[in-house]
Every structure is written in structure tokens, then in C-alpha cells.
Structure 1
């Protein structure tokens, strides 16, 4: 299993306490769960679905280490909420005032790359972009993952970094696409937002190739 570099000074209170150690523990548990699943699963689903699955597993794993629950409704916001919110109505849980929103990305790669599930992407990475359905996301824990090389015949998905900011604003998100037809509305984080996320790094895989790439794309330094 991967080792991690941790920002020991990180701790937030978003209706419950979240520390860098709890996030690291959630990542380790999630990565173990992901490696226990059959490789054929990852070969049969796309990266968007894999990202959604990783985010869901991490949310559930993180609640083992903090005093929070997973938002019980499908389109609830944020993803994790205080236990006291369990009795709230569906309408209230769609935009609960406390909690932690979590988004996951595998990053962008060169258009010429022809990679398949299980193939490491870090050498082909051209950027990191988290997406949202609206531009009002102001607080975010962003995860990054890859099929990390581990010497086995198949490289399983592994969370490789966690970043946080509670200072995002609408200008940190791009214009919303997919506003016509049946496409899902989505906005990508802009350069200013990425810099805020980078400055709030929480956990990084202890691998210089990843640290170097992430610090370059998100414009931060851990030294």
C-alpha cells in the first residue's frame, strides 16, 4: 500500500472536526477497499463512474474516523453532514448549512494518449480539474486518483492526493456547459480555484513524481 505525506497542521470544523490524520486514514481504508475489488470491474466502467465510486467509498470510509454521516439523499449537499441532520427533511438535506463537500478527479491527460484501466496516467497528466454542477461551491475537499504502479499485473485505483479550500467563489469556476438538450450541467474549476486548493494540500502520496506534478498543476510547494 502507498505511503503518504501529511500536512499535520490541517484541521477544520465544518459542523464536525476533520483533521489531516482522519483524511489520511480514510484514504488508506478506501485504497484498500478499491484494491479488493476485481480488476474486471474497472475495465468495464469509465473513469467518470470510477471517480464517482471512489468518492462514495471515501465518504463512507471517512465517517469511520470523524463524527459525521453520509448525506442520505442522492442529490444532497454537502456529501457529509453532522449526525444531528439525520432527521432533517429531504428538502433541507439538499442544501444543508454544515458539512463537507467532496469531489474526485483522475485529472486530464494528453489527447493523443490511449490509456486503459490499470495503466498509470501520471506521465501523461496535463492538469487537474474538479467539476461541479454549479458555481456556488465555496468549500471543497478535492481528491485526485490514479492507477498507481505497484508491481502487480494490474494497477488498482489509488487516491493520491487530497486538497481543501473554504475560500472558493463563483469566479473560481468556469462557465457552465451542458445548458442545452439533455446534457448534465457542469462547470470546471479555474486557475484561481486550483491555486486555492493547492495551497490547502492535506495529504499527498509519498512519490516525488506525483508531488512534482501536483505542485506544478496546482501551484503550491510543500517545502
Structure 2
């Protein structure tokens, strides 16, 4: 897979993250996803697949930048400076520096009835990242799909990445699942998606992906690439 990369992307979040780090992490993640047997993807839901994609990308970014994945399950952010390795669980729950990473497969047309291994891009209607609270201000967002290939099964691949460091509470919707045992989540609103779109980092170099992602996320691949 070949990506169009935003050459202007460079951030510092306790460790430096450049386009080179992102590109390396993308290829590491995609290669790993191909090693998982197709039967696994056919027997898990897309939320679980998203977790696998996101977890591997986190590890790949940590590997390429010299950072570490947050050692605790509910830690925030997902990737933190190596200095946080010995921090307490309380501190790791809201570490002051790092990179928060969230993953989505997007929303498709109702009734499309697509199965694992079938590309979703031509039925894609929206891209939404979710969080457990509305205080996420900085986010690196991944989008994935079952990308068409010459193999018998189309494995998932990361197809685009976006970043925003100026999100506010109102860029997130009301929290659902506040009753019972459901997981509390909030979805990003259109204002947040516009900020993410303006911060596009990498997009798969396939015309239909580029066209649809630019339309949905309202950005333009221009001389930044």
C-alpha cells in the first residue's frame, strides 16, 4: 500500500512524532494485520477489529518514536513518553503528555449487508470516532477498511489518519450508556470532524478512497502532500 502523506505534519507530545514515524507505524500495523488468519476476522465484530488495529498502531508508534504504550488498560493517553514507565496507576489514568489514538471503520449505508473481508468504502456514509468522555482535546484518529487485494481474503488495513489538537467539549456529543451496565461513550460531532479533516496526515493513494474521504471529512489534498 502507498500513502499520500501530509509533509507538514510534525508534533511534540512528550516525544516527537513526524511523518516518518507515522509512515513506519502504518506499514508495521498493516503487515501485522495480514498475519492474522481470515477466520479470526470472520468471527469477531468490527469493534474488536478496530481494537486490534488501534492497539497495533499504538505499539508501532511507540516502537518508532521511543515512547511506550500506556501500561494500564484504562490509561490516558494511549502512548506516553518513556519517562512514564514507572508512574503510578493514578498518574497513568491521566498522564500529562502523550498521544491519544482512536480507531473507526466508519458508518455505511443501511442495508448494505457487508461481511468481513468485503471493502466498505463504496458504501461509506460517515466517519465518527468515539470517546468515553468529552474532555478529549487532542486526538490522532485512524480509519480502516478491508482493502481489496489479490489475495483470497481482503485483510483490514489503515486507510487514513487524521489529527486535531484543538478539540473542545462541544465537539463531542452527549454521553450515552449512562444507565445500567452499558459502556459510556460519546461520538464526535461535525465540528470536531472538520477539525480532524483539516489535520489530515495520511490517506491511501487510491482514487475512490481519496475522493470519498475528502468529501466526508471536508478537506483537500493539496500541496501539503
Matched residue, 1:132? 131
**Structure-1-length-normalised TM-score:** 0.98
Gaps of 5+ in 2: none
Gaps of 5+ in 1: none
Q: CA RMSD of the aligned region, Å?
A: 0.6
Residue 79 (structure 1) shift: 0.2
Alignment of 1:23-102 (within 5 A): 23-102=22-101
Find the aligned partners of 2:43 and 2:19 in 1 and give their Cα distance: 33
1:14 lines up with 2:23 in the alignment: no
**Structure-2-length-normalised TM-score:** 0.97
Contact 1:6 1:21 in 2 (8 A): no
1:151 lines up with 2:147 in the alignment: no
Contact 1:34 1:158 in 2 (8 A): yes
Q: What secondary structure, in the 3-state scheme, does the structure 2 residue paired with 1:126 have?
A: strand
Find the aligned partners of 2:62 and 2:11 in 1 and give their Cα distance: 15
Matched residue, 1:177? 176
| C-alpha distance after superposition, 1:202-221 (max 9, x if no partner) | 11100111111111111110
Q: What secondary structure, in the 3-state scheme, does the structure 1 residue paired with 2:64 have?
A: coil
Which ranges of 4 or more aligned residues in structure 1 deviate by more than 4 Å?
A: none
| C-alpha distance after superposition, 1:131-161 (max 9, x if no partner) | 0000000000000000000122110000001
Contact 1:140 1:164 in 2 (8 A): yes
Residue 37 (structure 1) shift: 1.1
Contact 1:69 1:81 in 2 (8 A): yes
Residue 67 (structure 1) shift: 2.2
Find the aligned partners of 2:24 and 2:143 in 1 and give their Cα distance: 16
Residue 14 (structure 1) shift: 0.4
Residue 165 (structure 1) shift: 0.4
